[in-house]
Structure 1
Amino acid sequence: MSRHLLIAGACIAALSLAACGQKADPAATDTVAADQAAMPAADVAPAAPAAVTMATDFVPMAAASDMFEIEAAKVAQTKSTNAEVKKFAAEMIAAHTKSSADLKKAIADSGQTMTPPAALPADKQAMLDSLKAADAAGFDKMYVDGQVVAHQVALNLMQGYADGGDVPALKAFATATAPVVKGHHDMAKMMADKMM
């Protein structure tokens, strides 16, 4: 099951890269490949596009990440029977609702006229639909494994934009948000390790 999530995550990263029209830095690609080769298969997470530096690319990706986290957490709160998973899901709803508000504020502060998307992109909607369709026995593992992947992709996105983004207010948002996302990733990873 987690292998399917990893494949889906890799597809998301590839589609996001293609959609952004960005070319991955060959050195960054080599580094990711080397890191993945050094990790067990269960720990491999796809990289977000390394070169997301344009606000017009960053905003929809960051907003979609928050939307997906909130919706996936709502599913977890209704389907999970694990108290730790339900607690994590509640934290994800609160944190990603705040992050969405912070992103909107950063857009306003920047003077940009961008509007975050109102609906999930097709790839994230497909992941959410798979989560909703999961059977009760495998749900918690599927959700938690997906959270590890989703938060790694989001962390790569935030760190990349914080390093090279084109709009200072959005760079500040990405810089402030990255450690929070890292904390979520680490929590999800600890839960996933317990479920192995």
Structure 2
Amino acid sequence: MKTSAVILASALLLGAGASLAQGNTTATTPTDPQIAHIVVTANQIDIDAGKVAESKASSKDVKAFAKQMVTDHTGVNKQASELVKKLKVTPEDNPTSRNLKAGGDDMQKQLKGMKETDFDKAYIDNEVTFHQTVLDSIDKTLLPNAKNDELKNLITKTRPAIAAHLEHAKQLQASLNK
């Protein structure tokens, strides 16, 4: 499972950060429509993982966390969808969102195939890695490159919830490792 979390984290960081590393900021810096697609894709990955965890986790705390992930990330996607409609912007598929989707699909397959005894720890380990990676991407790529103030405000407003999810996941991780 660690491999899947690392793949997913790498997809987000490398895809979102590659534009800056290449030094060709005009051709590869994510645009607002691309950033919107990255936001929706990242949220959907956590919604999908949470749904699997709601049905497969053995710990009531892990199930509750998963339910919170589904609720919170669904809410963010609803806000993002409303914003792009208001702005008349179509989220644009891009290498980062495609890499995220592929990593999320791989993670889903691994989670669904796990035995219940191994599931809780693997799911929470992934959630720690995923939320840390999302925070890094928000700070290093999404916020610095977002041009539209409303999109930037949505990302900024969402950041504390992502940080809270990370801390909650770390607490669960510590309790599962005892």
Interval of TM-score (by shorter of Structure 1 and Structure 2):
0.7 to 0.9
Are 1:52 and 1:58, in contact at CA under 8 Å, matched by a contact in 2? no
- Select which of 52, 56, 71 maps to 1:75: 52
SS in 2 for 1:66: helix
SS in 2 for 1:24: helix
Residue 60 of structure 1 corresponds to which residue in structure 2? 37
Residues 1:52 and 1:137: Cα distance change in structure 2 (over 3 Å): farther
Answer yes or no: is 1:122 the counterpart of 2:66. no
Structure number with the higher helix fraction is 2
Identity %: 24
Answer yes or no: is 1:146 the counterpart of 2:106. no
How big is the shift at 1:109? Answer: 3.0
Q: How many residues align?
A: 168
User: Residues of 2 paired with 1:79 and 1:135: CA distance?
Assistant: 9
Mark the runs of 5 or more structure 2 residues left unpaired by the alignment.
none
Are 1:59 and 1:116, in contact at CA under 8 Å, matched by a contact in 2? no
How big is the shift at 1:116? Answer: 7.6
Normalised by the size of structure 1, how large is the TM-score? 0.75
Residue 42 of structure 1 corresponds to which residue in structure 2? none
User: Residues of 2 paired with 1:55 and 1:184: CA distance?
Assistant: 25
Higher relative contact order (CA 8 A, sep 6+): 2
Answer yes or no: is 1:22 the counterpart of 2:19. yes
Are 1:56 and 1:114, in contact at CA under 8 Å, matched by a contact in 2? yes
User: Residues of 2 paired with 1:172 and 1:165: CA distance?
Assistant: 10
Residues 48-97 of structure 1 deviation map (CA, whole Å, 9 limit, x = unaligned): xxx96521331221111111111111111111110000111111111011
User: Residues of 2 paired with 1:83 and 1:52: CA distance?
Assistant: 42
User: Residues of 1 paired with 2:7 and 2:92: CA distance?
Assistant: 27
Over aligned residues, Cα RMSD in angstroms? 2.7
User: Residues of 1 paired with 2:158 and 2:93: CA distance?
Assistant: 17
Are 2:46 and 2:70, in contact at CA under 8 Å, matched by a contact in 1? yes
- Select which of 85, 90, 95 maps to 2:62: 85
SS in 1 for 2:110: helix
User: Residues of 1 paired with 2:32 and 2:50: CA distance?
Assistant: 27
User: Residues of 1 paired with 2:8 and 2:15: CA distance?
Assistant: 10
Normalised by the size of structure 2, how large is the TM-score? 0.81
User: Residues of 2 paired with 1:15 and 1:131: CA distance?
Assistant: 23
